[in-house]
Amino acid sequence: MKKLKLSESQIVTMLQEGSAGVPIADLCRKYGISPSAYYKLRSKYADMNLSDIKRLRELEIENNRLKKMYADLSLDHMILKDVVEKKLGSQSSDDH
């Protein structure tokens, strides 16, 4: 998916212009986005101010970082679990 090139302040300004009655086609041309991108932004950021949008983006970045960290730890856990199971399995066969 293509990353949006608009800053938080541009998004807020564009959505305010849209709610003030500026035609969507004009806004899309001005900001270089498609109408579907405008409507996605409007549904995502409706009734938010600049600080809310900045905070949301920070939280999304933090959430992605934590998801990656969890995936790495989960993979490490599975690898260690397999090693322990193989080691315990080989010990029990040695005992017999």
Note whether 31 and 10 are within 8 A (CB): yes
| pLDDT < 50 regions, the chain | none
- The whole-number pLDDT of residue 78 equals 96
- Of the chain, the percentage scoring pLDDT greater than 70 comes to 91
Give the pLDDT of residue 96: 60
Please report the pLDDT score of residue 33 as a whole number: 95
Give pLDDT, residue 94. 62
Res 90: pLDDT? 79
Rounded to the nearest 5 percent, the helix, strand and coil shares of the chain are 80, 0, 20
As a whole number of angstroms, the distance between CA 33 and CA 6 comes to 9
What's the whole-model pTM score? 0.63
